[in-house]
């Protein structure tokens, strides 16, 4: 593959939403090329407010500071889709060692009369800290809309209509994950890290730039590359579901979160995992077939369940 960029490209979403035809075309091309080579892009000017991000990080830190017994009142079910998952539960697909993290999942919100109530579990909300529900639903919606715009921008490069991925992701099983990597505990397995090398399951992941370093991607030359940017930017990567639909024209990129090299302090991050709706079929796009589809068709729901078992969040 011809290497067009020597670092993860940093793109302005306003260039696509508010720009002229030339700016929009340049954004589409840079998004596609960034995903093809790095599997990642960095997004600025995205419309998610700085105040909202600051509030979200403060509330996340306050929740994870609660005693474990209090957090366990909101423990997630067997599929891990909503609520709290304690430290050392999840592991990467091919790792024997649990990741050194705990997290909270926020899913799509709907009222009891909605047809979605038969598809998705209801959210779980803690009593404390205050404003938790309102803040994270607002963040969920803001990140989802940013993701929808990026999926629209990706469509022309894959020769599908601009609504193709938006239709797939509308009412999707997308998840906002609040992540806390505590200080690495004394006596931790020396082979365990905060997040072992893995690829994301979903279409795309939108990561609010973390409070703390450690994220690295494995580039196409087999080298680990730190991914760092300003705290108000978003880091976006391509997941397995997109790779499957693209026949690996856009591969899912392996990434990890390494243990701190300096002070052994907490790290917080907030990835938004953008999923299709459960009945969406992950089928090879005509423009990506080349010598033939590598993968058989599968629904998004079946693929998700398969992968959740592989990472220890389902049985």
pLDDT tens figures, 256-296: 999 998 889 999 999 999 999 999 999 999 999 999 999 99
* Residue 50 lies inside a defined structural domain of this protein: yes
**165: in domain:** yes
Q: Give residue 1's pLDDT band: very low, low, confident or very high (50, 70, 90).
A: very low
pLDDT tens for 135-170 read 999 999 999 999 999 999 999 999 999 999 999 999
> How many structural domains is the chain composed of?
1
Q: In the prediction, which pLDDT does 77 show?
A: 76
Between CA 215 and CA 166, with CA 303 as vertex, the angle to 5 degrees is 75
Q: Is residue 21 part of a domain?
A: no
At a CB cut-off of 8 Å and minimum separation 6, what does 141 contact? none
- Domain membership of residue 5 (yes or no) is no
Per the domain annotation, does 47 fall within a domain? yes
Beta strands in 21-122, from DSSP E residues, in sequence order = 40-44, 83-85, 102-106
Strand partners, 205: 237, 273
Looking at the domain assignment, is residue 9 inside a domain? no
Asked if residue 14 belongs to a domain, the reply is no
Categorize the per-residue pLDDT at 95 as very low, low, confident or very high, splitting at 50, 70 and 90. confident
CB 267 within 8 A of CB 214: yes
The mean pLDDT of 236-251, rounded to a whole number, is 95
Q: Which residues contact 159 (CB under 8 A, 6 or more apart)?
A: 285, 286, 287
Q: Which pair of tokens denotes residue 73?
A: 């009142």
How far apart are the C-alpha atoms of 288 and 246, rounded to whole Å?
A: 6
Burial 239-264 (b: 16+ CB within 10 A, else e): bbbbbbbbbebbbbbbbbbbbbeeee
Give the CATH number of the domain where residue 248 resides. Answer: 2.60.120.330
- N-to-C CA span, the chain: 39
Its domain, for residue 270, covers: 27-310
């Amino acid at each position: 593959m011809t290497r067009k960029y020597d670092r993860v490209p940093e793109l302005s979403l306003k260039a696509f939403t508010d720009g002229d035809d030339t700016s929009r075309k340049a954004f589409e091309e840079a998004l596609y090329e960034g995903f093809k080579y790095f599997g990642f892009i960095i997004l600025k000017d995205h419309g998610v407010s700085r105040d909202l991000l600051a509030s979200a990080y403060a509330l996340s830190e306050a929740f994870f500071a609660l005693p474990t017994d209090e957090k366990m009142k909101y423990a997630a079910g067997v599929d891990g889709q909503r609520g709290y998952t304690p430290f050392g539960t999840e592991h990467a697909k091919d790792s024997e060692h649990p990741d050194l993290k705990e997290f909270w999942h926020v899913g799509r919100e709907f009222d009891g009369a909605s047809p979605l109530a038969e598809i998705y579990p209801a959210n779980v909300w803690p009593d404390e800290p205050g404003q938790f529900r309102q803040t994270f639903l607002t963040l969920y919606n803001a990140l989802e809309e940013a993701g929808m715009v990026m999926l629209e921008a990706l469509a022309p490069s894959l020769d599908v209509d601009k609504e193709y991925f938006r239709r797939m992701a509308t009412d999707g099983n997308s998840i906002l994950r609040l992540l806390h990597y505590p200080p690495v505990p004394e006596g931790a397995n020396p082979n365990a890290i905060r997040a072992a090398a893995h690829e994301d399951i979903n279409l795309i992941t939108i990561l609010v730039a973390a409070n703390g370093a450690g994220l690295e991607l494995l580039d196409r030359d087999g080298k680990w590359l730190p991914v760092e940017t300003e705290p108000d930017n978003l880091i976006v990567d391509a997941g397995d579901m997109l790779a499957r639909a693209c026949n690996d024209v856009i591969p899912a990129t392996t990434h990890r979160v390494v243990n701190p090299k300096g002070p052994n302090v907490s790290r917080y991050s907030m990835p938004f995992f953008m999923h299709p709706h459960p009945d969406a079929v992950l089928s090879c796009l005509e423009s990506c077939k080349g010598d033939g589809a590598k993968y058989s068709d599968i629904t998004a729901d079946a693929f998700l369940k398969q992968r959740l078992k592989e990472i220890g969040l389902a049985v």
